Amino acid sequence: MKIVSFLILSLGFMFFSSFALVDQTLRADKSKSYLSYSANHALHAWTGTSKKVDCLLIYDGDTKTFKKVAVSTNVADFDSENSSRDSHGLEVLEAIKFPKVTFSSTLIEQQKEGKLKISGKLNFHGKAKDITFEADYKMAGKEITVSGGFPVSMTEFDVERPSFMLVKTDDILEIKFGVVFLKN
């Protein structure tokens, strides 16, 4: 009887402890998350923002480590608060041919408390490029907030730089993001 009880307790412990070792897949809270770009022209600067960001994070709650992240948004979901500019942007970015911008991590390194170094593939305008950038993270209760930014060269992704009054915009788009995940 003692042996059977010991086996049942051992199996139960192994079964329940295995749940703690499983990575959690966390989905971004779209109501609290965003992805934006900022562009500059000699005459003005502007920012377009998407609040329709699909983002998944694989997170190890036991070790509090970030394993992988994947982000996707539609090019058409960016709003610069100027419908003419947004329509022209969709033409320049060939949004029908290349409707999505995606990022998938290959490596996430925790630098120190609150800091991440993220490497992966950015897919934009039909091109995939390896990028590395830094991000900040905060944990508060059940929320994990990750924020940061990185530059993107339009010419590296074969995007024709828009022009206004015969002057082209700057080549670099500044990408910024803030994503909130809810822990299980």
Task: Judge whether residue 12 has pLDDT over 70.
Answer: no
- Cα(135)–Cα(129) distance, integer angstroms: 18
20-24, 34-38, 112-116, 128-132: segment of lowest average pLDDT: 20-24
pTM of the predicted protein model: 0.83
Question: Is residue 132 classed as helix, strand or coil in its secondary structure?
Answer: strand
The CATH number of 22-182 is which of 3.40.630.10, 3.40.50.720, 1.10.110.30, 2.40.128.110?
Answer: 2.40.128.110
In whole angstroms, what is the distance from residue 103 CA to residue 66 CA?
A: 15
**Residues with Cβ < 8 Å from 109, sequence gap 6 or more?**
116, 117, 118
At 160, the pLDDT band (50, 70, 90 cuts) reads confident
Strand order in the sheet with 54-60: 24-27, 54-60, 65-74, 100-112, 115-124, 127-140, 143-153, 172-182, 34-40, 45-50
pLDDT band (50, 70, 90) for residue 162: confident
> What are the boundaries of each domain within the chain?
22-182
Residue 52: pLDDT band by 50, 70, 90 thresholds? very high
